[in-house]
């Protein structure tokens, strides 16, 4: 049994928040709730709701002005953030199987408990079944992700996402959502890039360091050898477990891989998924073609990619997040990799844009400013 005193405001119960009485009352919980068999999404309040105005106040005027604004507007509704459609759709899975909760969502935020009240008011107004939270008062979030058994952490803050990835938790920095986006009804559609997202960054690193020809030789040589797990592999396996709860053809979760690979580099992807015993619903081997139109046609609730270029393009049509490399960068000797790519791009008849579309399909990593 666990007990604590909760003063004015709201108090926790197992599945909902209820107004607390005027006096301090000890609360007791019965049997411990187990998250190990659930898909657990950790999310910042700014990823769930549009709090860009409030974040601007924090960055320009400081904590005191931000706190005062949040208090003054805590009963005002908040518009959906980039992850709102995905979160709402995932929570609706809990009604699909009687007496079986498949998904839990935990708000994990640097807000103080006081300023965090506005997020919970918005959660209640939006009728989202979210009852758990961690408000760290400005302290690092990453160390609490394992405590909540988080399978995926979504945030707008690059440093929090980087810390999560470095700590072994799948995480993505979300970009602004497309203003005209309409989420698919009655189905959850999630799209992943392959290298450095579902799969390890080994092959991506070879491409960056040694060039496209070396990448193709490596993948052809290892076509029947499964790639090692990337940062989102465990999330993919968890989603595959959810799919197994439903009869074939009736699963509300649909998964796609949208990758710049093409033949012959696609073969290793298929063999890796077989080794993991995962059946992907759709796969698109684009060979350097832009990903945005495919993602729009697929109707993704969320797309995850490691390259800014692809995420920025995708974010104009579907909610998207960038997956950073562990440690912050893919390779240490960046200048050497750039030399390889410059040499390759200057070869007669093979400008960089044409190189992106030959066998193997890797796209040059165009660097653009990351979103705030």
pLDDT in tens, 247-306: 988 999 999 999 999 999 999 999 999 999 999 999 999 998 999 999 999 999 999 999
User: Residue 357: pLDDT above 60?
Assistant: no
Q: What average pLDDT does the segment 66-70 reach?
A: 96
Q: In whole angstroms, what is the distance from residue 316 CA to residue 319 CA?
A: 8
* Percentage of residues in the chain having pLDDT higher than 70: 80
Asked if 319 contacts 83 with a C-beta cutoff of 8 angstroms, the reply is: yes
- Please state the φ and ψ torsions of residue 189, each to the nearest 5 degrees: -120, 120
- Largest Cα separation within the chain, whole Å, is 80
User: Residue 369: pLDDT above 90?
Assistant: no
- As beta bridge partners, residue 190 has 255, 302
Tokens of 121: 């008011």
Alpha-carbon distances, residue 283 vs 171, 293, 348 (angstroms) = 22, 14, 33
Q: In whole angstroms, what is the distance from residue 72 CA to residue 300 CA?
A: 36
Q: What average pLDDT does the segment 145-173 reach?
A: 97
Kindly give the interhelix angle for 52-61 and 63-72, rounded to the nearest 10 degrees.
140
* Percentage of residues in the chain having pLDDT higher than 90: 74
User: Residue 166: pLDDT above 50?
Assistant: yes
Q: What average pLDDT does the segment 124-152 reach?
A: 96
User: Residue 22: pLDDT above 70?
Assistant: no
- As beta bridge partners, residue 155 has 173
27-31, 149-153, 236-240, 318-322: which has the minimum mean pLDDT? 27-31
Report DSSP letters for 40-52, one per residue.
EEEE-HHHHB--H
For the stretch 71-102, pLDDT in tens is 999 999 999 999 999 999 999 999 999 889 99
pLDDT band at 57 (very low <50, low <70, confident <90, very high): very high
Beta strands in the chain (DSSP E): 2-6, 10-12, 17-19, 25-29, 39-43, 103-109, 132-135, 152-155, 171-174, 188-192, 253-259, 282-285, 302-305, 320-322
Q: Evaluate the CA torsion angle 164, 168, 172, 173 in order and state its sign.
A: positive
Catalytic member of 151, 193, 195, 305? 193
User: Residue 13: pLDDT above 80?
Assistant: no
Alpha-carbon distances, residue 360 vs 259, 292, 310 (angstroms) = 10, 19, 17
Q: In whole angstroms, what is the distance from residue 331 CA to residue 335 CA?
A: 10
Q: What average pLDDT does the segment 157-170 reach?
A: 97
CA angle 306, 309, 312 (to 5 degrees): 95
Q: What does the pLDDT read at residue 332?
A: 57
Q: What does the pLDDT read at residue 248?
A: 87
Q: Evaluate the CA torsion angle 193, 241, 229, 110 in order and state its sign.
A: positive
Choose between 16 and 35: higher pLDDT: 35
- As beta bridge partners, residue 338 has none
Could you give all domains of the chain from N- to C-terminal order, each with its CATH number?
Answer: 8-24+31-174 (3.40.50.1000), 178-372 (3.40.50.1000)
Asked if 6 contacts 28 with a C-beta cutoff of 8 angstroms, the reply is: no
- As beta bridge partners, residue 172 has 154
Choose between 339 and 128: higher pLDDT: 128
- As beta bridge partners, residue 43 has 107, 154
18-22, 181-185, 282-286: which has the minimum mean pLDDT? 18-22
- List, in order, residues 6 or more apart from 65 with CB less than 8 Å away: 57, 58
Tokens 């924090």 belong to residue = 58
Residue 305: active-site member: no
User: Residue 158: pLDDT above 80?
Assistant: yes
Mean confidence (pLDDT) of the chain: 85
């Amino acid at each position: 049994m666990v007990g604590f005193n909760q003063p004015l405001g709201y108090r926790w119960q197992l599945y909902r928040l209820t107004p607390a009485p005027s006096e301090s009352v000890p609360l007791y919980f019965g049997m411990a709730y187990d998250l190990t068999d659930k898909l657990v999404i950790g999310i910042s309040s700014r990823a769930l709701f549009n709090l860009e105005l409030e974040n601007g106040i924090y960055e320009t005027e400081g904590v005191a002005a931000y706190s005062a604004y949040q208090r003054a507007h805590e009963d005002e509704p908040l518009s959906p953030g980039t992850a709102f459609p995905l979160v709402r759709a995932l929570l609706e899975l809990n009604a699909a199987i009687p007496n079986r909760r498949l998904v839990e969502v935990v708000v994990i935020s640097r807000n103080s408990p006081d300023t965090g009240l506005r997020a919970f008011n918005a959660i209640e107004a939006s009728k989202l079944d979210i009852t758990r939270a961690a408000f760290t008062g400005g302290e690092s979030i990453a160390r609490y992700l394992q405590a909540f058994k988080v399978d995926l952490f979504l945030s707008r803050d690059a440093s929090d996402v980087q810390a999560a990835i470095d700590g072994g938790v799948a995480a993505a920095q979300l970009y602004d959502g497309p203003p005209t986006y309409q989420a698919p009804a009655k189905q959850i559609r999630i799209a992943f890039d392959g290298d450095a997202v579902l799969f390890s960054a080994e092959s991506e690193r070879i491409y960056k360091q040694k060039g496209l020809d070396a990448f193709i030789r490596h993948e052809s040589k290892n076509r029947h050898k499964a790639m090692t797990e990337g940062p989102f592999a465990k999330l993919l396996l968890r989603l595959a477990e959810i799919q197994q709860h439903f009869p074939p053809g009736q699963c509300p979760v649909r998964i796609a891989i949208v990758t710049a690979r093409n033949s012959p580099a696609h073969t290793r992807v298929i063999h890796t998924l077989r080794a993991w015993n995962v059946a992907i619903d759709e796969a698109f081997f684009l060979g350097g073609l832009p990903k945005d139109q495919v993602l729009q046609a697929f109707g993704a609730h969320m797309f995850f990619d490691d390259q800014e270029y692809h995420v920025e393009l995708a974010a104009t049509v579907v909610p998207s997040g960038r997956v950073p490399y562990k440690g912050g960068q893919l390779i240490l000797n960046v200048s050497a990799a750039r030399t390889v790519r410059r040499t390759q791009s200057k070869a007669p008849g093979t400008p960089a844009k044409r190189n992106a579309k030959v066998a193997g399909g890797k796209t040059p990593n165009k660097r653009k400013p990351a979103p705030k």
